[in-house]
Structure 1
Amino acid sequence: MTVLVFGGSGQIGHYLLPLLAARDETVVALSRVPRPSTPGVTWVTGGLPDSVPAVDGISAIFSFGPLQPFADWLGGAKLPHAPRVVATSSMSAESKRTSEVPAERELSQQLRDGENALAAACARHGSEWTVLRPTLIYGAGLDKSLTPIAQRAMRTRVFPLPAGRGIRQPVHAQDLAFAALAALDTPASAMKILPMGGGERLPVSDMFARVRRSLPVDTLPLPLPGWSLRLARHGVPRLRGPLSRLEADLIADNTDVIRLLGVNPRPFRPDADCWQPSA
């Protein structure tokens, strides 16, 4: 039987594909651009939802990309073996539900709609599913949150340090890969949405300070006081959401991930490798 992976070239897939290959699974990974096959992984070219090539004998599916296109494909695909499905959503489904920014509230609704569409598509096939809702992801140099900040600081040798009282819980992409694989093997995780954050909660100011200390070059710290952030928040519309969240707690309850999956996410101890794009 075959394991099909969507999002294998992303940060979670970077860690999951070697785990699957080590289990001697037949692994097929989908990419929008041609990629050479590697030991244990066959890459095929296509895209969701309408250009996924036929793959026979699928017994499990992982999806680490947008939920709605995946659910659209899943609902219409021919999957006679009722494959087990493991997918990722985001804690933004909850944390942005009441955002002051309309686009962020819309994103929250889209995530929850995607989760519901996934469950409905799985029901059509008689497939069991698990959805992981991660907090801020880091670790493979492919995220769109901390890595751009780190890379910009390495170029400019200046590291902005915004004030903020919000609590953060960054989760390493490899720990998410461990959790996704554990979900595949754990019947008790079926039909559940599991929040997942890192193994440590810390103030947003400490999170940025640790990123700065992890860099392989010296940078000049540039404190950004609260009054300046308030001015930017009201004066620059595109910054309103990110800056307002500096005062919000963006965390997850790991109780079910630990209890059901046996995964204990690591604390936030980044090193320089976390900010280098993985090959």
Structure 2
Amino acid sequence: MTSLIFGAGGMVGSRIAHGSPGAICISRQPRPGWLVADLGRRETINLPEAEVIYCATSPIAFSMVMPEVLRRKPRRIVVITSTSVFSKIHSEDARERADMTSLRAAEDRIIHACESAGVEWTILRPSLIYSEGRDQNVTQIARIVRKLRFMPLYGRGTGLRQPVHAEDLGRGALAAAISPAAANRAYSTTGETITYREMVGRIFDALEMRRRFISLPPLAWNAAFAIAQPLYPGISPAMGKRMVKDLAFDSSEATADFGWQSRSFAPSFR
């Protein structure tokens, strides 16, 4: 089965490529044996025939060039987005709300374009993707733990999380691409359900460090955040409040339709 992979150099796209020998990997920059195409420049989207096209990069940028992507009429488009389209759409952070509105609009554009062209689509929505050393979730927490030797929590950190390893998501994308039941469906593809506090605790375990937490009430958290923000640009106050919010989604339909499975959360930084 011939396939094309946008974002093949990323932590999920590289896993899809590894499990799909012969796939054509796509990059904005020239690489030996790769196809050059830039989603920001329509004139570069000149694709060969392929049965499946994977989007493991920005769905927003991908959605803007759907006419060029669909020109060869692939059988299936598989796109990885995020459960954040549900969990952050009402965030108190205006930037997060805007980002999720854009992401949901991108999903809609992709679906509409595929249906207009008679091409099957599958959307996978993981939560908290990690790949030790590469991600901005688990690896970032590990950096904080190493530096501080403890982890500050908003309240007790009891909100539910479902971290998903990039390798499992890559395998899931490959399985979804060949599943008739997954045609024209969107799925939550989530991992083991644990509390935020337990997730961080297992990161301590992976680093062979004793679990040490400091629970902060809202006023203390806001004060600590003001001090820490210059050291960790990109973080927002809303991140703290989410530590006590359940961000858990049902992936049973993905399991039923294409055998979705995700490992238990036990990161390794060795």
Q: TM-score, normalised by structure 2?
A: 0.87
Instruction: Tell me by how many angstroms 1:32 deviates.
Output: 2.5
1:124 has 2:116 as partner: yes
Distance (whole Å) between structure 1 residues aligned to residue 92 and residue 143 of structure 2:
29
Distance (whole Å) between structure 2 residues aligned to residue 268 and residue 100 of structure 1:
29
1:33 has 2:29 as partner: yes
1:171 corresponding residue in structure 2: 164
Q: Judging changes above 3 Å, is the alpha-carbon distance between structure 1 residues 220 and 249 closer, same or farther for their aligned structure 2 residues?
A: closer
2:136 corresponding residue in structure 1: 144
1:183 has 2:165 as partner: no
1:208 corresponding residue in structure 2: 200
Distance (whole Å) between structure 2 residues aligned to residue 35 and residue 63 of structure 1:
18
Distance (whole Å) between structure 2 residues aligned to residue 46 and residue 166 of structure 1:
40
**Could you give the per-residue CA deviations for residues 169-213 of structure 1, whole angstroms, max 9, x where no partner exists?**
111111111110111110111111101110x21111111111111
Q: Judging changes above 3 Å, is the alpha-carbon distance between structure 1 residues 49 and 132 closer, same or farther for their aligned structure 2 residues?
A: same
Distance (whole Å) between structure 2 residues aligned to residue 169 and residue 234 of structure 1:
28
| Structure 1, 50-59 or 85-94: larger mean CA deviation | 50-59
The alignment's C-alpha RMSD in Å is 2.4
| Structure 1, 181-190 or 219-228: larger mean CA deviation | 219-228
Distance (whole Å) between structure 2 residues aligned to residue 94 and residue 15 of structure 1:
26
Q: Judging changes above 3 Å, is the alpha-carbon distance between structure 1 residues 234 and 150 closer, same or farther for their aligned structure 2 residues?
A: closer
Give the length in aligned residue pairs.
261
Gaps of 5+ in 1: 37-41, 274-279
Distance (whole Å) between structure 2 residues aligned to residue 80 and residue 94 of structure 1:
32
Distance (whole Å) between structure 2 residues aligned to residue 165 and residue 220 of structure 1:
16
1:110 has 2:106 as partner: no
Contact 1:164–1:246 (8 Å) recurs in 2: yes
1:14 corresponding residue in structure 2: 14
Pairing 1:1-279 to 2, within 5 Å after superposition: 2-21=2-21, 26-36=22-32, 42-50=33-41, 52-77=44-69, 79-154=71-146, 156=147, 158-162=149-153, 163-198=156-191, 200-215=192-207, 218=209, 221=212, 223-227=214-218, 228-232=220-224, 239-273=236-270
| Structure 1, 225-234 or 126-135: larger mean CA deviation | 225-234
Q: Judging changes above 3 Å, is the alpha-carbon distance between structure 1 residues 79 and 140 closer, same or farther for their aligned structure 2 residues?
A: farther
Q: Judging changes above 3 Å, is the alpha-carbon distance between structure 1 residues 78 and 246 closer, same or farther for their aligned structure 2 residues?
A: closer
Q: Percent identity?
A: 30
Q: Judging changes above 3 Å, is the alpha-carbon distance between structure 1 residues 132 and 43 closer, same or farther for their aligned structure 2 residues?
A: same
Instruction: Tell me by how many angstroms 1:263 deviates.
Output: 1.9
Distance (whole Å) between structure 2 residues aligned to residue 2 and residue 261 of structure 1:
20
Instruction: Tell me by how many angstroms 1:164 deviates.
Output: 1.6
SS at match of 1:76: helix
Instruction: Tell me by how many angstroms 1:239 deviates.
Output: 2.6
SS at match of 1:30: strand
Instruction: Tell me by how many angstroms 1:250 deviates.
Output: 1.1
Contact 1:166–1:245 (8 Å) recurs in 2: yes
* 1:175 counterpart letter in structure 2: D
Instruction: Tell me by how many angstroms 1:146 deviates.
Output: 1.6
SS at match of 2:74: coil
Distance (whole Å) between structure 2 residues aligned to residue 202 and residue 157 of structure 1:
23
| Structure 1, 116-125 or 189-198: larger mean CA deviation | 116-125
